[in-house]
Structure 1
Amino acid sequence: MHKKIRMIVSDLDGTMLNAAFQIPEENIEAVKEAAGKGVLVTIATGRMYRSALPYAKELGIDVPLIAYNGAIVKTVGGERIETSFLPPDVVRKVLKFVFSNGWYVQLYRDGNLYYEVVKETARAYEKASGVPGEAVGKEGLLERADEVPKLLVVTKDGPSGDEALRLLAEAFPDEIMVMKSTDTYIEVVSPGVSKAKAVLSLAKSRGIEADEIMALGDSGNDVSMLKACGLGIAMGNASENVKAEADAVTGSCENGGVAEAIRRYVLEA
């Protein structure tokens, strides 16, 4: 039996959001009802802060948001609470390695999105995130290596994504942390950065213990927080590997699975 839940943290894509990148109305209602009862509710996402903020406002969240897989934590007013940037020399080394392998890569800096050239991959990401990017060429990426919270490597399919993950981890074993957020998205952050670390730090600042937190997610970059929190909930659409790491499984993101979990484990517990 878990302790009374005092904090809820949810991933966005594949969790809080449906396939149309919208928040189902039942999720909004459940979040607001939980917040009204004094439960802290926030978001932990691989997305840019700038991309996550509109959803936080739609949910009525006033707790700091966890973005870039935990590399940046900021209030809804834009104040930085925590930051963890990749060292510039590491950014440049990883970029050159990515270029040599012919992979597509995105760089994030100062709340902006940069890539080498305009491709369908870039356009698809811009549509999903609601953030327009800028093509700056290889040199332009290398020149923007300071204060980078995350790089995103995008591969053509799942097997090539697994291979890219392995190659990056082997090439930079002590300099980066790599994880998959989708079959084709490889997230690159500084060692030690994770949603779990950011969630626990934020909770501690509010006097909340790990076993008083419910975390919800669907992907590999959510596993750390599902395991670290008292109640880890995998979405019905999550992979079997993610479900195996969770304490329970709720409905899919298309069917208001977040609302289902909030009602079952928080509002009706």
Structure 2
Amino acid sequence: MTVKLFVTDLDGTLLPSGAAVPAENIAAVQRAVRAGVTVTIATGRMYRAALPVAKALGVDVPIITYNGALIKSVIGRVYYSNFLKPDIIVRVIDFCRAQGWYVQSYSKDELWVPVHDEHAQHYEHEQQVQGHVVGWDGLKEHTEEVCKLLTISESAEETQARLQLLNEHFGQEIMAMRSNVRYAEIVNPGVSKAEGLKHLAAKLHIPIEETMAIGDSYNDLPMLKAAGRSVAMGNAVPEVKAVCDYVTASCEEFGFAKAIDTLVLGGGANE
């Protein structure tokens, strides 16, 4: 199998959470690009939070952000967008507030938070972005071009319970999914990294069979299943390892670079 499009998750895959891209991974990307492979990012992050990583890689292609709700190039060209409706945003915010949950919004690629508590502060530090503290009523005033809402909990069990409540309460109006043990993301139905990969492959005229995806967490599952071949990081959750064609080393052991060198450039994907 020839790999023409290689799509990577960020946190826990390409880079340790909140850290810079390791030089080993940057070098691997450049080797792949020189060999004619398109390497890009698929992430739950905001576009503005993913952009510095893409620039560090030297990636000059559209990047898949907000878990597939926005595909936008490094120079700012929008290839695809899927925004939540304003009335749904207001109702989800009211629902989360009634439950006593922290929730944050993303309007026009800016972060909006109701309070500057430990959840907001941790997220800002992790993603290297600064949020706007606007209060609960203010949160509902920023409903334009919102790709997703995010509620942050204290545990995997609590996150799962929130997902169930959100999906039961709103039915087919939204889709709530887990991006890590503490994050429950609210997007439009059909939004996923998988759909983002398909949209991008079509834009680049690359057959899905010639794509490869790599990831480590729950929100990567649809993308890994949709790609022609899939790679799980050594630190991936068991559910990811169970569906992937290959398992590489952990993020700290530069499993991303090893996957590029072994499976993409070394021909291991043909085995």
| Same structural fold, with TM-score higher than 0.5 when normalized by the shorter chain | yes
Q: Is the 8 A contact 2:214 2:230 kept in 1?
A: yes
The list of structure 1 runs, each at least 4 consecutive aligned residues, that deviate by more than 6 angstroms after superposition, is none
Who is 1:142 aligned against? 140
Q: Give how far 1:26 is off.
A: 1.1
Deviations 1:9-66 (A, max 9, x none): 0010111012452212111111010011110010000000000000001000001011
CA–CA distance in structure 1, aligned partners of residues 103 and 254 of structure 2: 32
CA–CA distance in structure 2, aligned partners of residues 19 and 72 of structure 1: 21
CA–CA distance in structure 2, aligned partners of residues 118 and 33 of structure 1: 42
Alignment of 1:14-163 (within 5 A): 14-163=12-161
Q: Is the 8 A contact 1:179 1:186 kept in 2?
A: yes
Q: Give how far 1:241 is off.
A: 1.1
Deviations 1:156-184 (A, max 9, x none): 11111110011111111201111111101
Q: Does 1:243 align with 2:241?
A: yes
RMSD of aligned residue pairs (Cα, Å):
0.9
What SS class does the counterpart of residue 156 from structure 1 fall into?
Answer: coil
- The one-letter amino acid of 1:255's match is E
Q: Give how far 1:146 is off.
A: 2.5
Deviations 1:100-137 (A, max 9, x none): 11111110011110110111111111111111001101
What SS class does the counterpart of residue 61 from structure 2 fall into?
Answer: coil
CA–CA distance in structure 2, aligned partners of residues 188 and 20 of structure 1: 22
CA–CA distance in structure 1, aligned partners of residues 17 and 194 of structure 2: 25
Who is 2:251 aligned against? 253
Q: Give how far 1:149 is off.
A: 0.5
Who is 2:195 aligned against? 197
Who is 2:162 aligned against? 164
- The one-letter amino acid of 1:235's match is M
Under a length normalisation based on structure 1, what TM-score does the superposition of the two structures give? Answer: 0.97
Quick one: structure 1 residues 231 and 167, their matched pair in 2 at CA, closer, same or farther if it must change by over 3 Å? same
CA–CA distance in structure 2, aligned partners of residues 161 and 40 of structure 1: 35
Q: Is the 8 A contact 1:219 1:238 kept in 2?
A: yes
CA–CA distance in structure 2, aligned partners of residues 78 and 232 of structure 1: 28
- The one-letter amino acid of 2:249's match is G
CA–CA distance in structure 2, aligned partners of residues 98 and 231 of structure 1: 38
Deviations 1:69-115 (A, max 9, x none): 00001010111111000111111111111001111111001111011
Unaligned regions of 5+ residues in structure 2, if any? Answer: none
Q: Is the 8 A contact 2:18 2:128 kept in 1?
A: no
Q: Is the 8 A contact 1:237 1:253 kept in 2?
A: yes
Q: Is the 8 A contact 1:19 1:254 kept in 2?
A: no
Who is 1:228 aligned against? 226
Q: Is the 8 A contact 1:44 1:70 kept in 2?
A: yes
What SS class does the counterpart of residue 184 from structure 2 fall into?
Answer: strand
CA–CA distance in structure 1, aligned partners of residues 252 and 104 of structure 2: 28
Q: Give how far 1:255 is off.
A: 1.0
Unaligned regions of 5+ residues in structure 1, if any? Answer: none
Quick one: structure 1 residues 134 and 193, their matched pair in 2 at CA, closer, same or farther if it must change by over 3 Å? same
Q: Does 1:9 align with 2:7?
A: yes
CA–CA distance in structure 2, aligned partners of residues 72 and 205 of structure 1: 14
Under a length normalisation based on structure 2, what TM-score does the superposition of the two structures give? Answer: 0.96
Aligned length: 267
- The one-letter amino acid of 2:154's match is K
